[in-house]
Amino acid sequence: MDSGNESTIAIQQNLKTAAEGDVKEYIVQVVTSLFGLNPRDQTTLDVELTASVSYLTDFINEADKNVLVVDRVIAREHGDQPAGAESGGEESVPAAFQVHDSLFVADRGQAMIFVKQSNIIEADKKIASQVSAFPLNGGSAWEQLHFVMSRVLNPYCKSFISQSGRGERDGDKLAPTVQKCFTEAEAALLHLQQNIDIPEINLVINQSILDAIEKAGKENRRAKIEDLGDIVEDTNFLNALQAGCNRWVKEIRKVTQLERDPSSGTSLQEMTFWLNLERALLKIAQKRDGEEVTLTLEALKCGKRFHATVGFDSDTGLKQKLAVVQDYNTLMKDFPLSELVSATDVPKLMHAVTGIFLHLRKLRSTKYPLQRALRLVEAISRDLNSQLLKVLSGYSLMHAPIADFNDILAQCQALFSKWDDEYDKFIALLRDINKKKRDDPSKLSWKVTAVHKRLETRLTQILQFRKQHEQFRTVIERVLRPVGNSSSRVKEEFMVESGEDEKSPDEQVDIAYEFLKNVDFLDVDSPAWENAYKRYEDQIGVVETAITTRLKGQLESSRNSNEMFSIFSRYNALFIRPRIRGAIYEYQTRLINRVKDDINKLQERFTKARGEQGVKIMQTAGLPPFSAKIMWIRNFERQLQRYMKRVEDVLGKQWENHVDGRQLKADGDNFKVKLNTQPMFEEWVDTVQSQNWTLPNKILTVERVQVDGRMQLQLKVNYHLDSLVLYKEVSHLKAMGFRVPLKIVNWAHQANQMHPSATALIEATRTFASVNAALASVQGVDSLLASYKRDIQNQLLEGQSFLQFIHSVTDSISEFSLLQYQLKLAETVNTYQERCEELLNVVRIVNADLNVLKSCRYDKETIENLLSSIQKGVDQLSLGNYSNLAQWVNTLDRQIETILARRVEDAIRVWTLVFMQSEEVEELRERQIVLPQVKNVVVELCMTAQTLYISPSTRETREKILEQLYEWHSVCTAQTRISGKRFQVSSLQWLLFDL
């Protein structure tokens, strides 16, 4: 370190320092310029600088002398008359100057502080570039520090952080911390500046008392009355003590009787007043209990001066005042006012207001006067107002984008709303406290003048103004600058004359906004805002006149009301401007009458239609009945809303406040009551709930039905197909925004879950019943499907094991679910149906063959073919695994046997007729009946030895004739019987196959 200092000094020694005369001349120029010195004062300052040449030399040459202070002290030649009074002003008062290097000097008037930027002042550089000057214009030190911090350092820090963007960098946490420290320092300086000084009390003690105490102190004991000796009986001594005691009372009363007006100043001053007063009273109480005052009062008491001793405490009022102050400080201690005065944004202000009112609830546990509490709230309102002004002044709200502007104003509105809410709670608290104290309410003035309310009103005005301005400008850009080839033409139509040039409406609006852009609208006491707003309105009036002229031209050229509605819809947002609204009044009346007629026609349609046709049309689209009715009514409601939108297009956003608008709104509301579907929905809900859609206990039920006059048992699935309609109704009603009760929603959900399985079961039972009916129409064949029918019946009995239908849908019961059950049943029924169709087809063929067999041509080939066809059907049934096939085949065989037996009888009768050569043979031949070929048998008769020989013999002849007969009836009798066992292999056959 020493080597570094030596090198620095060596470098400085090589530099040429500025001359003292040049620096002195610079100082005189600066002080004269800033303080406005007259020639006499300049001479005085020059003389003082010459006399204080040592300070000047050190300031130029010494590295540790960086400051030079020039104090200006006004010499009062006219007693206590202040400078600048009627006697001639400050210029007639001579000024004295002091030059030194101490920054702080008590009771300073004006001062100029010169600070050099380097260790020395070089001769080769301009002095102004090496020395900075800072004026101090009187006031306390805290006031000067707060001025520098609030006007220079803190704003400079904020501006630097904002411009450099350091506060937005995640990694740079130091810059925001420094800014926070500057803000806290500013708030602390303001707090110190607003401290109210309590007078310092000095209790003068008699010298004899001091001597006695000093003597006792040397002996390490407290002084006693005996230490004063005979002096306690000296009248002069006692008079002196009594006079001193009276002076003490007066001095203490300066503090105990000290008050401040709570309606003036800031809330910080109120808080610091009571805190400082408590500290001062505690110091006085400490002195009162001190050895000096105690010995003095004992001496007066010993001298029988009871008047001075007895009334000492009561005359000062020290104990009572201390008790009151300590009670008040229950509220004042830890009062979060610093958060308010140090807040840097609106959310922090809101947080501070919340904390302040939360702290004010401690008022219940103190005796702080309610009237004073109200005045304290007024002071808090003033602090809030000044701090909010300070915060908002850094935003340049009129230059900010509308989104940022709205965000900031929304925060302000939230702050004001928070204040109102907390203030209402606070007033309720005060009224409750006042009621318990039983004070006279008439003595309290509950009115609180919140200073920030004026600022709140102004901000509301500004918010409304910018909203209307942005809306007006946006509408102009949208309406007067349409997209397309006609944009330039439309722009030219709306050009507005402005001085020598013509400008478009949006440019004119921007020019009007410039009148308000740089106005300090936060200054509610200045008429600058109102004046600028008048200029703005005048400029906007020019734009409105041009728009009104073109708008009326377009309305006049419109061909029908629909085009007029379109124009009104396009320019609707401009109707907030009274001038534009007034110019189109006649067109509004015409279109409003058109809307009235449309609404009346709509009501007439709704009244006459009753909805049957519309509902039927919607039902064809798949909508359930009730939802279709609701949808039909909703169509009318949407059309009514479209008409109301037309009214809004014609009359503007606040059309309800218009004379015609109020009547239309009343008519529309009355019609809406008729279109209100909520009562219908509630009635539907009551109806559905009254039906009690409980789940059946069993899947299948048996019902008695009358068929052809006879009672029969019919199998039925215990499920209503209307359940699916309920599910559709619930789905559509929920889509339309109705709040369907959970109970009905659950029913609909369960119905939707049950529907696939239930539909499958219903279809299966229907198929089963139809198959049974088909079998019943054909006698003798139902036994062939007995096994399939038995399987179905077993499965139906198995279905009765499901106790709860819904549980069967979701849970596993008896190792299979309802879904598996219905699939299995459906498969079995389908198989039953297929076998039935196959059987009926075979039976139909067999019956046809039997009918043909009864009357077919009597020849072997024909009958054999018929029997082969019947055998083919039987073989098909045998392969189909039909039950009781053997019995059915036996029955069929007997039928065939009966038919063939009848055919054989007829054949024998015909053969006999042919054999007998009966006359009926011709008739049979005419009937094209097949006749047998009866061959003649030649019989030779030979008589030998009177013995008659016949050859062939009679027996042989009879045999030949019978052979022909046998051959004739063998057409039937020789046929193969029908068999149902052709595809069955016996055990003997299997054995033969193995061999």
Q: Sheet harboring 131-136: ordered strands across?
A: 95-100, 67-74, 110-116, 131-136
Residue with tokens 């830890």: 334
What is the reported pLDDT for 653?
65
CA pair distance 239, 244, nearest whole angstrom: 8
What is the reported pLDDT for 253?
85
381: exposed, middle or buried (Cβ count in 10 Å: 0-12, 13-18, 19+): buried
Cα–Cα separations (whole angstroms), residue 5 to 1, 8, 273, 301, 596: 6, 5, 50, 71, 98
What is the reported pLDDT for 650?
66
Q: What is the mean pLDDT of residues 898-908?
A: 83
Q: Residue 13's CB: how many other CB atoms inside 10 A?
A: 9
**Cα angle 74-80-86, degrees, rounded to a multiple of 5:** 85
The proportion of the chain whose per-residue pLDDT surpasses 90, expressed as a percent, equals 4
- The model's pTM: 0.52
In DSSP notation, 302-369 reads HTT-HHHHHTHHHHHTHHHHHHHHHHHHHHHTT-THHHHHT--SHHHHHHHHHHHHHHGGGGGGS---
Nearest to 340 by CA among 460, 191, 454: 191
Burial annotation 130-160 (CB, 10 A radius, 16+ → b, else e): bbebeebeeeebbbbbbeebbeeebeebbee
Burial annotation 667-684 (CB, 10 A radius, 16+ → b, else e): bbeebeeebebeeebeeb
Say whether pLDDT at 664 is over 80: no
CA pair distance 585, 551, nearest whole angstrom: 12
Q: What is the mean pLDDT of residues 511-538?
A: 85
Say whether pLDDT at 498 is over 50: no
> Dihedrals φ, ψ of 223, to 5°?
-70, 145
Question: Which of the residue ranges 227-231, 560-564, 782-786, 889-893 has the most confident prediction, judged by mean pLDDT?
Answer: 889-893
Q: Using one digit for the tens of pLDDT, what is the confidence trace for 323-377?
A: 998 899 898 888 888 888 888 889 999 999 999 999 999 988 898 888 888 889 9
Cα–Cα separations (whole angstroms), residue 267 to 253, 370, 373, 428: 25, 15, 11, 21
Say whether pLDDT at 525 is over 70: yes
CA pair distance 460, 70, nearest whole angstrom: 50
What is the reported pLDDT for 350?
92
Q: Using one digit for the tens of pLDDT, what is the confidence trace for 852-894?
A: 888 788 787 888 888 888 888 888 887 877 778 778 888 888 8
What is the reported pLDDT for 615?
54
What is the reported pLDDT for 721?
60
Run of H or E residues at 700: strand 700-707
Q: Using one digit for the tens of pLDDT, what is the confidence trace for 192-226?
A: 555 556 777 778 888 888 888 888 888 888 888 88
CA pair distance 292, 222, nearest whole angstrom: 10
What is the reported pLDDT for 481?
58
Q: Mean pLDDT over all residues of the chain?
A: 75
Q: Are strands 110-116 and 131-136 parallel, antiparallel or unpaired?
A: antiparallel
Q: Using one digit for the tens of pLDDT, what is the confidence trace for 942-959?
A: 877 778 777 777 787 788
Among 261-265, 645-649, 695-699, 963-967, the minimum mean pLDDT is found in 695-699
Nearest to 281 by CA among 260, 252, 311, 310: 252
Question: Which CATH fold would you assign to the domain 690-840?
Answer: Butyryl-CoA Dehydrogenase, subunit A; domain 3 (1.20.140)
What is the reported pLDDT for 626?
78
Q: Using one digit for the tens of pLDDT, what is the confidence trace for 615-636?
A: 555 555 557 777 777 777 777 7
> Dihedrals φ, ψ of 132, to 5°?
-110, 145
What is the reported pLDDT for 6?
43
What is the reported pLDDT for 491?
45
Q: What is the mean pLDDT of residues 756-780?
A: 76
Say whether pLDDT at 445 is over 50: yes
Cα–Cα separations (whole angstroms), residue 970 to 857, 863, 955, 977: 14, 11, 21, 13
287: exposed, middle or buried (Cβ count in 10 Å: 0-12, 13-18, 19+): middle
Q: Are the beta carbons of 750 and 812 closer than 8 angstroms?
A: no
What is the reported pLDDT for 972?
81
Q: How sure is the predictor about 420, in pLDDT bands with cuts at 50, 70 and 90?
A: very high
Q: What is the mean pLDDT of residues 137-148?
A: 69
Identify the residue with better confidence: 281 or 798.
281
Cα–Cα separations (whole angstroms), residue 152 to 642, 739, 864: 61, 63, 131
CA pair distance 723, 758, nearest whole angstrom: 11
CA pair distance 678, 127, nearest whole angstrom: 89
The proportion of the chain whose per-residue pLDDT surpasses 70, expressed as a percent, equals 74
Q: Using one digit for the tens of pLDDT, what is the confidence trace for 36-79?
A: 788 888 888 888 888 888 888 888 888 778 888 888 876 544 44
Coil vs helix vs strand at 705? strand
Q: Which two tokens stand for residue 721?
A: 């197909």
Q: Are strands 67-74 and 95-100 parallel, antiparallel or unpaired?
A: antiparallel
Burial annotation 357-377 (CB, 10 A radius, 16+ → b, else e): bebbeebeebebebbebbbbb
CA pair distance 15, 8, nearest whole angstrom: 11
**Cα angle 724-730-733, degrees, rounded to a multiple of 5:** 140
Q: Who contacts 467 (Cβ-Cβ below 8 Å, separation ≥6)?
A: none
Run of H or E residues at 110: strand 110-116
CA pair distance 744, 731, nearest whole angstrom: 11
Question: Which of the residue ranges 743-752, 767-776, 868-877 has the most confident prediction, judged by mean pLDDT?
Answer: 868-877
What is the reported pLDDT for 502?
65
